[in-house]
Amino acid sequence: MSTAPTADRRTEDLLRELAPQVLGTLVRRHGDFDACEDAVQEALLAASLQWPGQGTPDNPRGWLVTVASRRLVDGVRAERARREREERIALATPQSELLAHAADATREADRDDSLALLFLCCHPALSAPSRVALTLRAVGGLTTAQVAAAFLVPETTMAQRVSRAKRTVRDAGAAFAMPRTEAERAERLAEVRHVLYLVFNEGYTATGGPDLTAPALSAEAVRLTRLLHRLLPEDAETAGLLALMLLTEARRPARTGPGGELVPLPEQDRTRWDRRLITEGTSLLERTLPRGRVGPYQLQAAIAAVHDEAEDADATDWPQILALYGLLERIAPNPVTTLNRAVAAAMVHGPAAGLELLTGLEEDRRLARHHRLLATRAHLLELLGEWEAAVEAYRAAARRTASAPERRHLTARAARLEAGTG
């Protein structure tokens, strides 16, 4: 049976790729983020209806830009109360340009503004949740309903969040342009990477709900990070982030059982791991690491590579992982890094050494009441043979997680220890 994508699927993939480029062009020209996004959505809808049957234009991006521009001007003209905006758009877009040629005839739209759009969606005036929502909506092309479903909030809540984000960007007077200084650009780029990292993590391990993972979110994070890497091929940390995502995503097929239950890394069937993604991620990392200063995403990718290269759990090079976590903790201190280093220390020096590292985290407000700290403590107590304390910690961790699969896994671990079956 042929697995070639249908015309509809090819059109959908192309439109998702072009959506941020078209929106970026319109925002650069006209400046009204909200109105431009509405016009782009209308152009995308028109394309999705026309292209599968009539064929894709020679210059699909130019077609979308022109159609969206027409819709934008038509919408402005239809509202007399917005004459000021009409004049501004009319000045920016001459009638001859809008009406005199076929929709795909111009090449001016070939400029790709995706990077500037990513930077705008990650403006420092926005909160982290707002950056995530706006990035997925404007750059990812997801509907508000899709973003809301991914983060388990009502659509009205997500719509309000996106609307507030747009208003904040407008009120902040954010220019649709790259930051002027190298320092500003580096800071904003770090925020863009962080947003993509957050989206991937939420897709790989959902913070709540009935399913352990949200594959669509992880796939979108990988797609957008590929875009960022294409736009900035020499940026080592962006390459490191993409490598980290690929090396982690490779394990997804083995991460859940037939019923959607969580399968811990040591128990996973590694023959189900995606070797194509592992090869791509490892190759990317090998090209990145020799470039000079190593950043946090490159180090996390290196750790993921060590796990992925081991034939089985017993073959894992834990001393190397422990050394990498030690380096990561020095250059980017974080309680989650310390938590992971504690596990590595336990595997190298014994569970007591890991538990000693956890003691300091109990005073850290960012992690003190987090279920992962309790789950890790439970695991190390189990390895130490202190089953009664491990059972108590597993049950406490189960009470604190909002993820149903994680809760079932932790509860099952406690039950097995109580039954004496380990």
CB 320 within 8 A of CB 265: no
Q: What is the pLDDT of residue 222?
A: 94
Q: Which of 38, 51, 52 is nearest to 103 (CA)?
A: 51
Q: Which of 293, 298, 254, 291 is nearest to 274 (CA)?
A: 254
Q: Which of 315, 382, 322 is nearest to 355 (CA)?
A: 382
What is d(CA 414, CA 382) in angstroms, rounded to the nearest whole number? 10
Q: Which of 371, 368, 363, 373 is nearest to 339 (CA)?
A: 373
Q: What is the pLDDT of residue 84?
A: 58
Instruction: Specify the pTM.
Output: 0.80
408-411's contacts with Cβ under 8 Å and 24+ in sequence apart are: 408/261, 408/262, 409/261, 409/262, 409/264, 410/371, 410/375, 410/378
Determine the 3-state secondary structure of 383 from DSSP: helix
> Vertex 304, ends 140 and 340: CA angle to 5°?
105
Q: What is the pLDDT of residue 109?
A: 45
Q: What is the pLDDT of residue 99?
A: 42
Which residues does the chain have with pLDDT short of 50?
A: 1-3, 82, 95-110
Q: What is the pLDDT of residue 97?
A: 46
Q: What is the pLDDT of residue 303?
A: 98
Residue 88's CB is within 10 A of a number of other CB atoms, namely 15
Which residues in 78-193 belong to E strands, given as ranges?
none
Six token digits for residue 14: 């192309």
| CA 252 vs CA 246, 247, 325: distances in Å | 10, 10, 23
Question: Is residue 208 exposed (0-12), middle (13-18) or buried (19+ Cβ within 10 Å)?
Answer: middle
Name the amino acid, one letter, at 88. R
Total number of residues shown for the chain: 422
Q: What is the pLDDT of residue 335?
A: 92
Q: What is the pLDDT of residue 197?
A: 92
The mean pLDDT of the chain is 85
